[in-house]
Amino acid sequence: MSMVARNIQHQQEPLQPQRKKKVIRHVRHTVTKGERVIIALMAAAVFLVAAFIVNNYVELYKTNTEIQGLQQQVSNQTEINAGLSLQVDEYSNPERIIEKAKEMGMTFQGDQVKAVQPQN
């Protein structure tokens, strides 16, 4: 009977459902401290580069504004100088000088007049 009992036991074993062991995997989706430090450094570097670029644009804008102001001043001064040059030409006209001298009561004596060359 012992043989028969073994055969029965072998036949009954496959009938029992085999339980599969459940493997529990612990998946860590968190970021490690080293990764956090690297991310923080990268974010700081990006921020600094962006701030540097914005600062350069601000400086360029200020410089361009200053240049435009100086160009306007130069053009205004050029116009003033042109006007003054015309006045100098008008006032240095010999006929006008003789007329102004007569108005002041001066007389023209040809032998005492000396010609003076302008110095430029």
Q: Is the pLDDT of residue 59 over 70?
A: yes
Question: Can you give the pLDDT at residue 81?
Answer: 97
In the structure, what pLDDT confidence band is assigned to residue 80 with cuts at 50, 70 and 90? very high
Question: Can you give the pLDDT at residue 46?
Answer: 98
**SS3 category, 25:** coil
Mean pLDDT, range 13-38, rounded to an integer: 76
Tally helices (H) and strands (E) across the chain. Answer: 3, 0
Q: Is the pLDDT of residue 72 over 80?
A: yes
Q: Is the pLDDT of residue 1 over 60?
A: no
